[in-house]
Amino acid sequence: MSLLTFNTAISSYRHHSVQRSRKNFAAPTFNPSSSCPCSITAFPASLFCNSRTRPFSRLSVVSQTANLVSDTDSAARVGQDRLLKVPTSNIRNFSIIAHIDHGKSTLADKLLQLTGTVEKREMKDQFLDNMDLERERGITIKLQAARMRYMFQNEPYCLNLIDTPGHVDFSYEVSRSLAACEGALLVVDASQGVEAQTLANVYLALENNLEIIPVLNKIDLPGAEPDRVIKEIEEVIGLDCSNAILCSAKEGIGITDILDAIVQRTPPPSNTAERPLRALIFDSYYDPYRGVIVYFRVIDGTIKKGDRVYFMASGKDYYADEVGVLSPNQLQVEELYAGEVGYLSASIRSVADARVGDTITHFSRKAEKSLPGYEEATPMVFCGLFPVDADQFAELRDALEKLQLNDAALKFEPETSSAMGFGFRCGFLGLLHMEIVQERLEREYNLSLITTAPSVVYRVNCVNDETVECSNPSLLPEPGKRRSIEEPFVKIEMLTPKDYIGPLMELAQDRRGEFKEMKYITENRASIIYELPLAEMVGDFFDQLKSRSKGYASMEYSLVGYKESELIRLDVQINGDPVEPLATIVHKDKAYAIGRALTQKLKELIPRQMFKVPIQACIGSKVIASESLSAIRKDVLAKCYGGDITRKKKLLRKQAEGKKRMKAIGKVDVPQEAFMAVLKLEREVL
């Protein structure tokens, strides 16, 4: 063994011993069965005795180091042996729930690295966030699953991590993940404390009867206050935090404690392998070569490669061509049994045959009753998606079907517009959800899309006692046919430091909010609850919340029902022609201000034409705001130098006649930015 190798081993030990001393750990001991890839650093104390007390021979050092090098290989093998079967009692299915930007993805990276699931050369930040959009925005959009192998007290355990998003718009993904687990890590930022989405995710976990393990992350930050946050969790959520784990995912502090807690405190799944097969599909996606790939959790029974499986909701049956686990890449196995999480490929070509929430069973031995599945997602925001090229309509439909397989919260139906042609009316859980879907359609399926301004679903009570649901403002019944209009209201809870209570209450009041309750969670943090129209939140409400609180406030909202309001339809006419996608339903008191701001914004966005273009905002036949684009004029008098004035008048008259004819037959192309102009009006109107 070279001297360089020995010096490297010594420095490695010193580094890790310092790290352990910071965590108040005992002196490291050598454990050949440890699953940690860094267990090579746990050198025997005898190897590093002071030469004054006990000299050591070079030969003994070489033999000891050789043993440790072989132990590195065994640690790597432990991580690679995650396909080996373990008893059902040694399986742990858990999820990580947290508010956005509380370090959840970084913690998942450390768990994968420490258990040897991902080799060091393949490791990268946000490993489970494999979409470009997730990396660019720094958020988790899709749930991901990963199988890990961990040695605890010389016994192998199989840990199935199902990662979840943290943004409120992707709460449906979180609910699907939690239904496949028995435990959850509740990650809370030790400097920021409990946030709005933290509460929402905890309540989802409690509804699923999960064992919750509180974890305080980012304790290495200068502003970390673990004692205050622990007290906050106990007071706000009601969880016992006497055994809460303090960690720093970035520095690798406390990761082993988290793994030990998962093994000790998360209950194992029930051993029901002898029952008929029942597996719950919690996610799926479309592969162009293999068809629909479904991710599932086996609740009862076993599933093998080559089995003929039956999808209970769709009534279709297929042969299982490939069965495997996600670790986090797909690895084939021969069999999966009760409690395990895996994937299935069966050459499923129709995306409607394997939906999220369906139950998989054997064709020859069907289960008596399917699993409950998931509650249907209720879209909160609607908008129109139209292809720029009309020939791409069929491609857009196929892309939406495949994306709906991967995102079960997406809803769509065909729509026709006089200005835009054929497209789809799509429903989303929120504004961020809408942006992400549009980006994915354009990136993953090479589509050029025009998106109309988002709107919500209104209920129109007609004079003939019928109730019509209207998500498209252009389809609103005429004033003579309707008796009243109801709009959806949401209950919004804003958690904020006490210094920003005033600005946030002012924001909610400006958005027609109705104050409900305010209470102090701690001495310096308050919870403000309002009920306000969902239409007032579709826009820059979240941006305003963050800017007015300097980024410290967070929010959580839920639909509470419909209330009657004085609403009218605001139409936009460009060059005398109504533009349906720009029509909006607004409150009567705000109609003039919004119409004025909208016409001014459109004047900036629509390019000038060869003729004068009037832009008008109308309520029925009454114009309430108007702007006009001046015509682009050619200097027809440039070639006239001197001569009679009648020559110049003749040229100008000829030009005016041409522009009059051009205005009669000319069409104005409205750019994509103009259809999103309604979103940017709030700061101009308020």
Closest by CA position to 497, among listed 517, 518, 527: 527
Is 357 assigned a ligand-binding role in the annotation?
no
Is 398 assigned a ligand-binding role in the annotation?
no
Is 366 assigned a ligand-binding role in the annotation?
no
Q: Is 171:204 a contact under the CB 8 Å cutoff? A: yes
Closest by CA position to 43, among listed 68, 79, 18: 68
| Owner of token pair 């010096």 | 7
Q: Is 81:149 a contact under the CB 8 Å cutoff? A: yes
Two tokens, residue 42: 């746990």
209-220 per-residue burial string, b: 16 or more CB within 10 A, e: under 16: ebbbbbbbbbbe
What is the distance between the alpha carbons of residues 346 and 319, in angstroms, rounded to a whole number?
Answer: 6
CB atoms within 10 A of CB 15: 12
Closest by CA position to 74, among listed 43, 40, 44: 40
Is 102 assigned a ligand-binding role in the annotation?
yes
Is 304 assigned a ligand-binding role in the annotation?
no
Two tokens, residue 336: 């999966």
Distance between the two ends of the chain, CA-based, in angstroms?
Answer: 74
CB atoms within 10 A of CB 578: 15
Q: Is 393:415 a contact under the CB 8 Å cutoff? A: no
Is 480 assigned a ligand-binding role in the annotation?
no
Is 166 assigned a ligand-binding role in the annotation?
yes
Is 339 assigned a ligand-binding role in the annotation?
no
Q: Residue 28, SS3?
A: coil
In which element (H, E) is residue 495 found? strand 482-497
Two tokens, residue 423: 């497209």
Two tokens, residue 445: 């399926």
E strands, 389-452, are 411-417, 421-428, 449-451
The backbone torsions φ and ψ at residue 661, rounded to the nearest 5 degrees and listed phi first, read -65, -40
Is 165 assigned a ligand-binding role in the annotation?
yes
Is 485 assigned a ligand-binding role in the annotation?
no
Helix axes 501-510, 541-548, angle to 10 degrees: 160
Is 219 assigned a ligand-binding role in the annotation?
yes
Is 526 assigned a ligand-binding role in the annotation?
no
Is 99 assigned a ligand-binding role in the annotation?
yes
74-95 per-residue burial string, b: 16 or more CB within 10 A, e: under 16: ebeebbeebeeeeebebbbbbb
DSSP state of 269: P
Is 389 assigned a ligand-binding role in the annotation?
no
Instruction: Tell whether omega for the bond before 328 is within 30 degrees of 0, i.e. cis.
Output: yes
In which element (H, E) is residue 95 found? strand 91-98
Q: Residue 568, SS3?
A: strand
Is 561 assigned a ligand-binding role in the annotation?
no
CB atoms within 10 A of CB 252: 16
**Residue 498 CA neighbour count, 13 Å, CB half:** 7
Q: How far is CA 184 from CA 98, 249, 253, 318, in A?
A: 10, 17, 19, 33
Angle ∠(206,208,209) on CA atoms, nearest 5: 65
Query: Per DSSP, what are the bridge partners of residue 424?
Result: 385, 414
Cβ-proximal residues to 313 (8 Å cutoff; 6+ apart), any chain: 355, 357, 358, 359, 370, 373
HEC profile of 439-456:
HHHHHHCCCCEEECCCEC
**Residue 287 CA neighbour count, 13 Å, CB half:** 14
What is the distance between the alpha carbons of residues 553 and 555, in angstroms, rounded to a whole number?
Answer: 7
Cβ-proximal residues to 650 (8 Å cutoff; 6+ apart), any chain: none
| Largest interatomic CA distance in the chain | 117
List, as residue ranges, the binding site.
98-105, 163-167, 217-220
List, as residue ranges, the binding site for GTP.
98-105, 163-167, 217-220
